[in-house]
Amino acid sequence: MMNREPHRPEAPPGHEALVEQLRDALGRASELVAHLSTTLAVAAREPGAGPAAAAPRSEDDTTRALSAARLDVQELSTRLVDTEHQLDRLMSLYVATYQLHSFLDPKQVHDAIADIAINLLGAERFALLLRREGGLECEIVHTQGRIATEAPRFAGAVYEGGDPLVDGALADGVLRLGPREGSSALAAVPLKIQDEIVGALVVLKLLDHKPALGSEDRDLLDLLSAHAASALFAARLFAAKDRKLRTLESLVRLARRE
């Protein structure tokens, strides 16, 4: 049973304020359009009546002002949609980062990476490779989807190389997008911490309803490249320290018995 309600992370404050400002501006522009429409209607019905009498204005001027106000409303609406879209994108990235750094157990970090790949990226088949300490070969620590039949290179316990996209990403730490001849990967995301490449996320297939990786996905892949590696590094360090601590505690207990 889930007793706790997950903590609600705050959204980036600058963007929320911008959305609010745009909403206000949109509201004001709508009011202006409504006001101008009323003025125009009154002027047409009763020449010389209403505000037009106090500040005489030709019908052409009012019509121009009305058109300009309508254009403003249209532009502001477009900007509001763009900003909300941008806000959604930033929220996804924020939640992904938050989630990656929430765990100190390497296995849980692997699961968080898989969660992001499935739920935010829309990956149906993928493999997570991690370099063995002190070596160049990569351990396959997590796979998802039909790997054995569709991508046998990633089916065992160790990735032995051979996929040009993945080998390239592991060699120079640069994100590579497929398709490429000889490779079954759609994307090879190097997991980098400083200049060290600790592994790669290999995306092999997207969900059926997702045709291709888009620009927003590229942002997410870049985020994974940087943050997944540091989260894994921190979790591995913690696990190693934890093991040492337990060993020392055991030794102390043994020594006290003697």
- Closest approach of Cβ 62 to another protein, in Å? 35
Q: Of 95, 50, 110, 127, whose CA–CA distance to 220 is shortest?
A: 95
User: CB of residue 166 vs another protein: minimum separation in angstroms?
Assistant: 23
11 scored as a contact of another protein (CB under 8 A): yes
5 binds another protein (CB under 8 A): yes
Radius of gyration of the chain (CA): 29
Residue 58 beta carbon to another protein: minimum distance, rounded to whole angstroms: 42
Pull the structure tokens for residue 167.
């080998």
DSSP states along 105-169:
SHHHHHHHHHHHIIIII-EEEEEEEEEPTTSS-EEEEEEESSHHHH-GGGSSSEE----HHHHHH
Helix, strand, coil percent content, the chain, rounded in steps of 5: 60, 15, 25
Our CB check for another protein shows the closer of 7 and 253 to be 7
Question: Would you put residue 203 in left (φ > 0), alpha (ψ -120 to 50) or beta?
Answer: beta
Q: Which of residues 66-85 bind another protein (CB under 8 A)?
A: 84-85
Establish if 43 lies at the interface with another protein (CB under 8 A). Answer: no
How far apart are alpha carbons 90 and 15 in whole angstroms? 9
Considering the complex, state which of residue 1 and residue 55 has its C-beta at the smaller distance from another protein. 1
Between residue 105 and residue 124, which ones bind another protein under the rule CB under 8 A?
Answer: 112, 115-116, 118-122
18: contact with another protein by CB under 8 A = no
Residue 233 lies near another protein (rule: CB under 8 A): no
Q: Can you give the binding site for another protein, defined by CB under 8 A? A: 1-2, 5-6, 8-9, 11, 84-85, 87-89, 91-92, 94-96, 98-99, 102, 112, 115-116, 118-122, 207-210
